[in-house]
Protein backbone atom coordinates (compact mmCIF):
# COMPACT_ATOMS: atom_id res chain seq x y z
CA UNK A 1 0.00 0.00 0.00
CA UNK A 2 2.54 2.56 -1.09
CA UNK A 3 -0.21 4.12 -3.12
CA UNK A 4 -0.49 7.89 -3.22
CA UNK A 5 2.67 8.34 -1.26
CA UNK A 6 3.76 11.07 -3.64
CA UNK A 7 0.37 12.69 -3.41
CA UNK A 8 0.78 13.17 0.31
CA UNK A 9 4.28 14.48 -0.10
CA UNK A 10 3.08 17.06 -2.59
CA UNK A 11 0.30 18.24 -0.29
CA UNK A 12 2.68 18.58 2.60
CA UNK A 13 5.27 20.49 0.61
CA UNK A 14 2.64 22.72 -0.95
CA UNK A 15 1.08 23.63 2.40
CA UNK A 16 4.45 24.64 3.71
CA UNK A 17 5.42 26.68 0.67
CA UNK A 18 2.05 28.34 0.15
CA UNK A 19 2.18 29.36 3.78
CA UNK A 20 5.65 30.79 3.40
CA UNK A 21 5.55 32.40 -0.03
CA UNK A 22 1.90 32.48 -1.01
CA UNK A 23 0.15 30.74 -3.86
CA UNK A 24 1.37 32.91 -6.71
CA UNK A 25 4.79 33.17 -5.12
CA UNK A 26 5.27 29.42 -5.24
CA UNK A 27 6.06 27.51 -8.42
CA UNK A 28 5.23 23.89 -9.09
CA UNK A 29 8.93 23.27 -9.42
CA UNK A 30 9.44 24.59 -5.90
CA UNK A 31 6.81 22.18 -4.66
CA UNK A 32 8.17 19.23 -6.59
CA UNK A 33 11.68 19.90 -5.38
CA UNK A 34 10.71 20.09 -1.73
CA UNK A 35 8.47 17.04 -2.01
CA UNK A 36 11.24 15.23 -3.85
CA UNK A 37 8.94 14.16 -6.64
CA UNK A 38 8.82 14.92 -10.33
CA UNK A 39 7.35 18.18 -11.62
CA UNK A 40 4.67 16.43 -13.58
CA UNK A 41 3.29 14.73 -10.48
CA UNK A 42 1.38 17.86 -9.55
CA UNK A 43 -0.57 17.83 -12.77
CA UNK A 44 -0.88 14.06 -12.62
CA UNK A 45 -2.52 13.99 -9.21
CA UNK A 46 -4.26 17.33 -8.91
CA UNK A 47 -4.90 18.50 -12.44
CA UNK A 48 -2.46 21.37 -12.20
CA UNK A 49 -1.49 23.97 -9.68
CA UNK A 50 -4.96 25.46 -9.40
CA UNK A 51 -6.35 22.00 -8.80
CA UNK A 52 -3.91 21.49 -5.97
CA UNK A 53 -5.09 24.70 -4.37
CA UNK A 54 -8.73 23.72 -4.69
CA UNK A 55 -8.06 20.28 -3.32
CA UNK A 56 -6.27 21.61 -0.24
CA UNK A 57 -8.75 24.38 0.52
CA UNK A 58 -11.79 22.23 -0.09
CA UNK A 59 -10.46 19.48 2.14
CA UNK A 60 -9.67 22.03 4.84
CA UNK A 61 -13.10 23.60 4.85
CA UNK A 62 -15.04 20.36 4.51
CA UNK A 63 -13.39 19.11 7.67
CA UNK A 64 -13.70 22.49 9.33
CA UNK A 65 -17.44 22.74 8.80
CA UNK A 66 -17.86 19.12 9.76
CA UNK A 67 -16.12 19.79 13.06
CA UNK A 68 -18.16 22.90 13.74
CA UNK A 69 -21.47 21.29 12.92
CA UNK A 70 -20.63 18.28 15.01
CA UNK A 71 -19.99 20.39 18.08
CA UNK A 72 -23.16 22.40 17.50
CA UNK A 73 -25.16 19.22 17.32
CA UNK A 74 -23.52 17.81 20.43
CA UNK A 75 -24.37 20.93 22.44
CA UNK A 76 -27.92 21.45 21.24
CA UNK A 77 -29.46 21.74 24.66
CA UNK A 78 -26.72 23.75 26.31
CA UNK A 79 -27.16 27.35 27.24
CA UNK A 80 -26.44 29.86 24.48
CA UNK A 81 -23.32 31.18 26.18
CA UNK A 82 -21.87 27.75 26.91
CA UNK A 83 -22.50 26.71 23.36
CA UNK A 84 -20.74 29.73 21.94
CA UNK A 85 -17.82 29.22 24.26
CA UNK A 86 -17.52 25.64 23.13
CA UNK A 87 -17.75 26.73 19.51
CA UNK A 88 -14.95 29.24 19.96
CA UNK A 89 -12.77 26.63 21.57
CA UNK A 90 -13.44 24.17 18.78
CA UNK A 91 -12.64 26.68 16.07
CA UNK A 92 -9.37 27.83 17.58
CA UNK A 93 -8.34 24.27 18.26
CA UNK A 94 -9.00 23.24 14.69
CA UNK A 95 -7.18 26.20 13.25
CA UNK A 96 -4.23 25.60 15.50
CA UNK A 97 -4.07 21.96 14.47
CA UNK A 98 -3.58 23.03 10.84
CA UNK A 99 -1.61 26.15 11.51
CA UNK A 100 0.12 26.66 8.17
CA UNK A 101 -2.93 25.90 6.09
CA UNK A 102 -5.02 28.20 8.25
CA UNK A 103 -2.62 31.10 7.86
CA UNK A 104 -2.33 30.52 4.16
CA UNK A 105 -6.05 30.25 3.47
CA UNK A 106 -6.81 33.21 5.68
CA UNK A 107 -4.40 35.27 3.64
CA UNK A 108 -5.66 34.03 0.30
CA UNK A 109 -9.23 34.88 1.23
CA UNK A 110 -8.36 38.56 1.38
CA UNK A 111 -7.84 38.51 -2.39
CA UNK A 112 -10.55 39.25 -4.89
CA UNK A 113 -10.69 36.37 -7.35
CA UNK A 114 -13.22 34.00 -8.80
CA UNK A 115 -11.90 31.24 -6.60
CA UNK A 116 -12.32 33.28 -3.44
CA UNK A 117 -15.86 34.18 -4.38
CA UNK A 118 -16.65 30.53 -4.92
CA UNK A 119 -15.20 29.57 -1.56
CA UNK A 120 -17.17 32.37 0.05
CA UNK A 121 -20.43 31.06 -1.31
CA UNK A 122 -19.68 27.42 -0.64
CA UNK A 123 -18.05 27.54 2.78
CA UNK A 124 -17.61 30.96 4.35
CA UNK A 125 -21.31 31.69 4.17
CA UNK A 126 -21.97 28.59 6.25
CA UNK A 127 -19.22 29.35 8.72
CA UNK A 128 -20.52 32.88 9.09
CA UNK A 129 -24.04 31.63 9.64
CA UNK A 130 -22.99 29.32 12.47
CA UNK A 131 -20.92 31.90 14.27
CA UNK A 132 -23.49 34.62 13.74
CA UNK A 133 -26.35 32.46 14.97
CA UNK A 134 -24.48 31.27 18.03
CA UNK A 135 -23.40 34.82 18.88
CA UNK A 136 -26.77 36.42 18.35
CA UNK A 137 -28.41 33.75 20.46
CA UNK A 138 -26.21 34.87 23.31
CA UNK A 139 -27.12 38.48 22.66
CA UNK A 140 -30.81 37.67 22.38
CA UNK A 141 -31.69 39.01 25.81
CA UNK A 142 -29.97 42.34 25.31
CA UNK A 143 -31.47 45.25 23.51
CA UNK A 144 -28.78 46.53 21.19
CA UNK A 145 -29.46 49.30 18.75
CA UNK A 146 -29.10 48.93 15.00
CA UNK A 147 -25.81 47.68 13.77
CA UNK A 148 -23.97 47.38 17.07
CA UNK A 149 -24.50 43.64 17.01
CA UNK A 150 -22.70 43.54 13.69
CA UNK A 151 -19.74 45.44 15.03
CA UNK A 152 -19.49 43.08 17.97
CA UNK A 153 -19.73 40.13 15.62
CA UNK A 154 -16.93 41.60 13.60
CA UNK A 155 -14.90 41.94 16.76
CA UNK A 156 -15.50 38.29 17.59
CA UNK A 157 -14.63 37.09 14.11
CA UNK A 158 -11.52 39.19 14.26
CA UNK A 159 -10.43 37.44 17.42
CA UNK A 160 -10.87 34.09 15.70
CA UNK A 161 -8.42 35.00 12.96
CA UNK A 162 -5.99 37.36 14.68
CA UNK A 163 -3.43 34.71 15.69
CA UNK A 164 -3.25 33.54 12.10
CA UNK A 165 -2.67 37.00 10.72
CA UNK A 166 -0.21 38.16 13.33
CA UNK A 167 1.46 34.78 13.18
CA UNK A 168 4.84 36.30 12.36
CA UNK A 169 4.87 38.05 15.71
CA UNK A 170 3.91 34.98 17.68
CA UNK A 171 5.68 32.13 16.02
CA UNK A 172 8.52 32.36 18.53
CA UNK A 173 6.15 31.52 21.36
CA UNK A 174 4.37 28.59 19.85
CA UNK A 175 6.77 25.75 19.18
CA UNK A 176 5.99 22.11 19.68
CA UNK A 177 2.73 20.46 20.56
CA UNK A 178 2.77 21.49 24.19
CA UNK A 179 2.93 25.16 23.34
CA UNK A 180 0.06 24.73 20.96
CA UNK A 181 -2.11 23.36 23.73
CA UNK A 182 -1.16 26.12 26.09
CA UNK A 183 -1.78 28.75 23.49
CA UNK A 184 -5.24 27.44 22.63
CA UNK A 185 -6.21 27.33 26.26
CA UNK A 186 -5.01 30.82 27.10
CA UNK A 187 -6.15 32.50 23.94
CA UNK A 188 -9.62 30.97 24.10
CA UNK A 189 -9.85 32.16 27.70
CA UNK A 190 -9.04 35.67 26.54
CA UNK A 191 -11.85 35.61 24.02
CA UNK A 192 -14.31 34.07 26.45
CA UNK A 193 -13.44 36.76 28.95
CA UNK A 194 -14.31 39.40 26.42
CA UNK A 195 -17.53 37.60 25.72
CA UNK A 196 -18.45 37.56 29.37
CA UNK A 197 -18.07 41.32 29.42
CA UNK A 198 -20.25 41.77 26.37
CA UNK A 199 -23.02 39.74 27.91
CA UNK A 200 -22.92 41.22 31.38
CA UNK A 201 -22.31 44.86 30.61
CA UNK A 202 -25.51 46.84 30.49
CA UNK A 203 -24.52 50.05 28.83
CA UNK A 204 -22.30 48.91 26.01
CA UNK A 205 -24.07 51.18 23.61
CA UNK A 206 -23.41 54.48 25.34
CA UNK A 207 -20.09 55.17 23.75
CA UNK A 208 -21.16 53.53 20.56
CA UNK A 209 -23.87 56.09 20.02
CA UNK A 210 -21.36 58.83 20.57
CA UNK A 211 -22.94 60.06 23.80
Partner DNA sequence: TTCTGTCGAACGAAAGTTACAGGATTTCAA
Partner DNA sequence: TTGAAATCCTGTAACTTTCGTTCGACAGAA
5 or 189, CB closer to its own copies?
Answer: 189
CA 180, CA 102: separation in Å to the nearest integer? 14
Q: Which is nearer to its own copies, 106 or 137 (CB)?
A: 106
Q: Which does 20 bind (CB under 5 to 8 A by kind): DNA, its own copies, none?
A: its own copies
Shortest distance, position 6 Cβ to DNA, whole Å:
3
Contact between 180 and its own copies (CB under 8 A)? no
Which residues, including other chains, have CB under 8 Å from residue 71's CB and lie 6 or more apart?
A: 86, 87, 90
Binding partner at 4 among DNA, its own copies, none, C-beta below 5 to 8 Å by kind: DNA
How many whole angstroms separate alpha carbon 155 and alpha carbon 133?
A: 15
35 half-sphere exposure, CB direction, 13 A CA radius = 26
Residue 80 interacting partner from its own copies, DNA, none (CB closer than 5 to 8 Å by kind): none
Stretch 5-34 residues interacting with DNA (CB under 7 A)? 5-6, 26-30
Burial zone of 17 (CB within 10 Å; 0-12 exposed, 13-18 middle, 19+ buried):
buried
Footprint of DNA on residues 29-58 (CB under 7 A)? 29-30, 37-44, 48-50
Closest CA to 159 of 56, 69, 87: 87
Q: Examine residue 47 and tell whether it contacts its own copies (CB under 8 A).
A: no
DSSP state of 26: -
Query: Minimum Å distance from CB 24 to its own copies?
Result: 4
- Segment 118 to 177, residues that bind DNA, using CB under 7 A: none
What's the DSSP call for residue 141?
G
Cα–Cα distances (Å) from 67 to 60, 72, 74, 97, 113, in that order, read 11, 9, 11, 12, 27
Binding track over 149-178 against its own copies, x by CB under 8 A: --xx-xx-xxx-xxx-xxxxxx--------
CA distance 203 to 144: 9
Residue ranges binding its own copies (CB under 8 A): 19-22, 24-25, 103, 106-107, 109-113, 116, 120, 128, 147-148, 151-152, 154-155, 157-159, 161-163, 165-170, 185-187, 189-194, 196-197, 201, 204, 207-208, 210
Amino acid sequence: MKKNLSKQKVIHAASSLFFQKGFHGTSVRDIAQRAKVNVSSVSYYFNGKQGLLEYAVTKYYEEYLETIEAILKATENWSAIDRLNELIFTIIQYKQSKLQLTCFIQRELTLDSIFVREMTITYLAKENFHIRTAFFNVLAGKKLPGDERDYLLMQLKGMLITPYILHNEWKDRVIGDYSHEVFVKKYVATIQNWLKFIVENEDVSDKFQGK
